[in-house]
Amino acid sequence: MTLVAVLWLGLSLWIADVYGNYREAQLRGQALALAVTSAGALTNALSQRLAQVRGLAAFVAVKAAENQPGEIEREFPVFAASYYQQVPGIRNIAVAPDFVVRLVYPRDAGNLKVVGNHLLEDKRPGFAQTVERALQTRDLAVHEPLEMIQGGQGLLARQAVFVGDRPWGTVGMIFTISAMLESSRIGILEGYAWGLRTAAGTVVGGDAGVFAMQPVSVRIDLPDGHWDFALAPSGGWRAAAARGAEVTALRFGLLILGIGILCLTWVALQRRETLERLVDSRTRQLTSANRELERFSFIVAHDLQEPLRSIISFSQLVERGLSAQLTPEQRQWLASLGTSARLMKALLHDVQIYLGENNAPLPRRQVAATEALAIARRKLNGRIQQAGATVEAGPLPMVWADHHRLGEVFVALIGNAIEYRSLDRSPVVRVSCRTEGPFQVIDVADNGIGIEETYFDRIFEVFQRLHSRNAHPGTGMGLAIAKKMVEHLGGTIRVRSAVGQGSVFSIVLPVAPAWIANARSEQM
């Protein structure tokens, strides 16, 4: 009991730590979703403002191309006023022919300070470089957030205007960053701290300390750079993960569960024999239920084949009886119906074989593997000749099997070798044998396209295919049935392969018959 208590205490601490990590990961996922939403809102606010700059550039470019400077001066106040009313937080709208600021809006004292400023000769850090980037890219260039001549921090965006290939000048707008953040409603994030900074590390808004709190981060792309938006719980991730009703419920639940486990341990020690009998009884019930389910599935697979035969027959009768009246498309429909029905019939047939294998009797004598291979070759003769394949076989042993099972296994393996042959060489299949301790191994080697090691287990699963049915027809059950047959005989099937070189499927059968091995295991 003491050992159980100590183990449970250690397990409880481990569970609490694991849940804390899980809860933190969950919070990170929620925070990331919130950060993506907030960054999207900010991106929309930025895009709306940058679109205004592009619109102003287009207006000026048209007038400049028409060589109407007077029109620009006359229409600019009206054009700028409409922008000023549409978007909150515009501090300055400027037009700079020959890169000298001539027109500004609104014409207040702060904005008038920039009139006459030659942008390419501006000595303030980054101003001239922003204009040069706009000239080089012929697109928008965004300056780092800065203190403007007008006072306050703003976001400056400029776009060069060209008349043909000649630079005419630039247009630009300054947006109040606080107004842009307010319009995107980033500040309304209860329980979270956030920060926004440029690629150069300049803090645009929020709390700069967030970037040291292992935040989730979302990139906001700009025309010539990006910003990083970071988000984290106000008190840190661990503190946030430790809060909430779920954590309290977990701790209380672990305490109650620990008490319960101690009680159950004591009861289990007293009732061990009773529980063992109960487990044995339940095992028998489950075995019986499983057999009944397999029997039911076998009957269903058998009985469904009759309706499928009727579907195939009637579709053929319709096609022959109405042949002159059917359009090519309708014939294609009937052909697809017949193909699907035949595929379904083949699937049900393979399901019957797969389910019926458990109840098939085990062989009581040895057979020559050479005879089973001959049966398989006769069944596959048409496909072998059509593919121009060669099947070579060395001496094969006597094995504890039957002709039907082993023949079907050979049909599946050789048929697959022909189906998945390489297009640049004739298919060759070599069948040989060897001994591995108490097992006889029959190798079926081919020179086909090979199989990636990742799929070695998957190819033996029911209905698993590595290629589309259009490329390689079949039910996807051949290898699964083959492996189940060999396992029923007490052996297994292994595969090794190299892509582009071929595959080797090994049929591993025990030297002693499976019915003797089963009898020994039942006695033990």
| End-to-end C-alpha distance for the chain, whole angstroms | 33
Q: Indicate if 312 and 373 belong to the same structural domain.
A: no
CATH number at residue 156: 3.30.450.20
- C-alpha 52 chain-centroid distance: 39
Where does a domain end: 138, 159, 182? 182
Q: Indicate if 367 and 429 belong to the same structural domain.
A: yes
Is residue 503 situated within a structural domain?
yes
Residue 171 CA: distances (Å) to CA of 83, 91, 136, 161, 454: 14, 14, 15, 7, 59
Exposed e or buried b for every residue in 424-455, given b needs 16+ CB within 10 A? Answer: eeebbbbbebeeeeebbbbbbbbbbbbbeeee
Q: Indicate if 65 and 139 belong to the same structural domain.
A: yes
Numbers of helices and strands, H then E, in the chain = 15, 17
Predicted TM-score (pTM) of the model is 0.46
Name the residue range of residue 310's domain: 271-359
CATH number at residue 389: 3.30.565.10
| CA gap 89, 76 in Å, rounded | 19
Is residue 248 situated within a structural domain?
no
Residue 215 CA: distances (Å) to CA of 20, 27, 244: 17, 11, 20
Q: Indicate if 155 and 170 belong to the same structural domain.
A: yes
pLDDT tens, the chain, 524 aa long: 666 666 767 777 777 777 778 888 888 898 898 889 888 888 888 888 899 899 999 988 988 888 877 888 888 898 888 888 888 888 889 999 999 999 999 888 878 888 899 999 888 888 899 899 999 988 899 888 877 655 567 888 999 999 888 999 999 998 888 888 888 777 667 888 888 888 888 888 888 888 998 899 999 888 888 889 999 998 888 888 777 677 777 777 777 887 777 777 777 767 777 777 777 777 777 766 556 555 545 555 555 556 666 666 766 666 666 666 777 777 677 667 666 665 565 555 555 555 555 656 666 688 888 998 998 899 889 989 998 999 999 999 888 888 888 888 898 889 888 888 888 888 999 999 998 888 889 999 999 988 888 888 888 877 666 655 555 655 667 788 888 888 888 889 999 998 889 999 999 988 877 555 454 444 43
| CA gap 248, 244 in Å, rounded | 7
Q: Indicate if 513 and 367 belong to the same structural domain.
A: yes
Q: Indicate if 275 and 383 belong to the same structural domain.
A: no
Peptide bond preceding 106 in cis form (omega within 30 of 0): yes
Looking at residue 231, its amino acid is L
Q: How many domains does the chain have?
A: 3
